[in-house]
Structure 1
Amino acid sequence: MKQKITDYLDEIYGGTFTATHLQKLVTRLESAKRLITQRRKKHWDESDVVLITYADQFHSNDLKPLPTFNQFYHQWLQSIFSHVHLLPFYPWSSDDGFSVIDYHQVASEAGEWQDIQQLGECSHLMFDFVCNHMSAKSEWFKNYLQQHPGFEDFFIAVDPQTDLSAVTRPRALPLLTPFQMRDHSTRHL
């Protein structure tokens, strides 16, 4: 398994992902696995019921959406659902939360990490990591545009002359967007 992960990371990051990085990643994964398996049964089964919701779907006059959802969940849903799948709750700039600016934050208008932790005390949680695209306002993207070392392969530039007619997506906007790099070249992402 470790070799398979190494192969994937080598393909994605090339020589920039070192053995030290791998060991840190494996240590974190093993630690997370222990914490997760201590709290839940080994596998899903037919008795599990999952609620999928956006973090900002529940509103009240005096609370942000996540604490409002927590109250509603505790009162009405906890006995029905064993799992809650929260769609992106990170700060975002577009695409209904799927254009993530910062994966380490909870969108301030939705709530805070304490609200997520509270929900996790009474339900198994799942989150969308959304690693396949992120906001042009994120620090990673800014570092890419500035051509900082280590960020050159984080985004995929495509020649605008490439035939992309086979790509299907539920958006009316163009597939590629031009961005100016620090060296004044233009890349289409």
Structure 2
Amino acid sequence: MDLAKIKKDINSKFGSASECDVASYAMYPKVFEDYRNFVAKYGDLSVLPTRFFLSKPEIGEEFHVELEKGKVLVLKLLAIGPLSEQTGQREVFYEMNGEVRQVTVEDKKAGVENVSRPKADSNDSSQVGAPMSGVVVEVRVHDGGEVKKGDPVAVLSAMKMELVISAPHSGKIGDLKVKEGDSVDSQDLVCKIVK
């Protein structure tokens, strides 16, 4: 193993390389690179108390972080903002040594539910599809219920307007596929109306 080359490679990639870094890289190259990338992004978090490294503090909880002898940060979590669905980030508000601060953090634990819905067959008049992408704000029918041609089946909110999905013909509702709050894409199957 060419340790001098490893040291040179680490230096060019990360800016510094100790003997410990060379040994770490030689044994666990992927783990070492992940660690150095983490430190480059977040800094040296070894000064954090273990509990706060592994999980967030409670709202209003205060804790101390000693950066070095005589240099202590007093931190207190104040609030956590809502998840931005576009970026997957949240605003976090905290107090540091009595001053309110705000940071934007990536929330990797926020789940995004990806639902694949069946599409309505345009050649089958019994299938009612969503006319456009949007969110179902109201469902006005239930499985087994009777509808007449033109009766509202559901209300869809799209691009800051509401759109009523109407029954194309009279019949009995079957195979209702949506509920309030569901996101649908254009032509997703809403329900079937059997004559």
Q: Larger strand proportion, structure 1 or 2?
A: 2
What is the TM-score of this pair, normalised by structure 2? 0.25
Q: Larger helix proportion, structure 1 or 2?
A: 1
Structure number with larger C-alpha Rg: 2
